[in-house]
Structure 1
Amino acid sequence: MLKLILHEDLPARIAGSPFLQPVLQVAAEVGKSVRGPSTYEVTGVYLEEEYKEIQEWVNSFKPILEERSVTIMCDGWKGTRNQHIINLLIYSPRDTEAVIKVDGKMLMQKRRHLYWSACFAHCLDVILEEIGNRKSNEEGLDMQENQLD
């Protein structure tokens, strides 16, 4: 297993995966006759089954999402070390930022590879709003308007 992780450039955290130990136990019970899935089986059969299972799980939340006017958006790419990164964005015109933060923290506790970060667009909007509300900026705008008249 160690050589598989190192030579295939798998993340070291795979050794702590809750899915690994059951696989090793079954392989030990079956013995030398056990064979792993082929590339075709992984990408053509099992991947499709996993996709359908996840799609059903996501669809089970649709009534709740519609009730709360929540939209889930997804963006994905590969990181610098060729690891897949999936960015999930949740938008709701009704939920407050505090509620979303609490929900995000609860999800991070449940899923150890999930991370919450502030929305850049929201942060930029707040910063620009604060800059615009400064007294010195208001005076500067008044002076510009007077010069244009």
Structure 2
Amino acid sequence: MLKSVGEYGVGLKPPSYHEVRVSFLKKKVDHVNASLEVYRKEWKKTGCTIMSDGWTDGKSHSLTNFLVNSPSGTVFIKSIDTSSAIKNSMKLFEMLDDIVNEIGEENVVQVVTDSASVYVGVGRLLEEKRTKLFWSPCAAHCLDLMFSDIGELTVFKDTIIKAEEIAMYIYRHAWVLDLFRKFAKNRELTRPAVTRFATAFLTLKSFQDRKLQLRAMFASEEWARSSYSTSVNAKKAQGTILGDTRFWKAIKYCLKCVLPLVKILRLVDGDEKPAMGFIYEAMDRAKVEIASNLNHVRDRYKRIWEIIDTKWDSQLHRPFHAAPYYLNPISMVGKLRRRVQRASKASY
């Protein structure tokens, strides 16, 4: 824009305040609405999914974005301040019902929200009134809850806490961080984020990937001579990295349990292809992979499977998810292949 202004030269008349907030704004709104017409025609032809995405802004206001997904992609519809309605199922139901009206009930195949208890009630109300659409909990949110429950198991919780403490110590001290980057050749540790429980396990993965560099740093003469090495937190971190063999074994065990689930999270949270026809197959494959990673010793993965099944059966084990699975030839071929493999092993 500034380049265009410069090319115009002296004498350019800027738009007035009235033009910007009235006529120019109206033109932009008309342009956006016109661009949505292509999507609206597709919604009538193929149907669409309404998605709600809640978040909290810097002033602690609860906001909900509404988007519509169809084969051509996802478009943003509106954002509503839901601070006063976030715990009121009837208000949330009325809000979602209005969105369905706006898009057209005949065009809506599915409504997707997170799986919080209040939204479960909203989903039931919506399906009772709108008998031709389905309500589904968000698959990514369901997986996130799996990670949360798995992360509460003792070995996972203790290991994650240790890794987070070391990562925070390194990143809170500029000199220590610079030293780590020298040994890691400018590669970073994945630090935990508050929005996704899965990032805690990605932190463990980054520790496993940087194990040699971390051990080399804390064993280096440069570290030993620094003033940082004498603090309590530094000695604790050094002791864990260099002397706690159970820490590294626990990381390996944790990753064997959760990395197959991380693959599914990437599948359902990505935009490369529609995931609904693949998620049943992916979950089945993940459970088999977890058991295989732990040498089929049931006691080592039994609790993990129980957490997966509890969340899966109560949230995503639904007819609307099962139908694309059975209609997807790729998924069915994979299922048959595994059955043949299991039958072959049983025959020996």
Q: Report the TM-score, using the length of structure 1 for normalisation.
A: 0.41
* Higher share in helix: 2
Q: Give the number of the structure whose alpha-carbon radius of gyration is greater.
A: 2
Q: Report the TM-score, using the length of structure 2 for normalisation.
A: 0.20
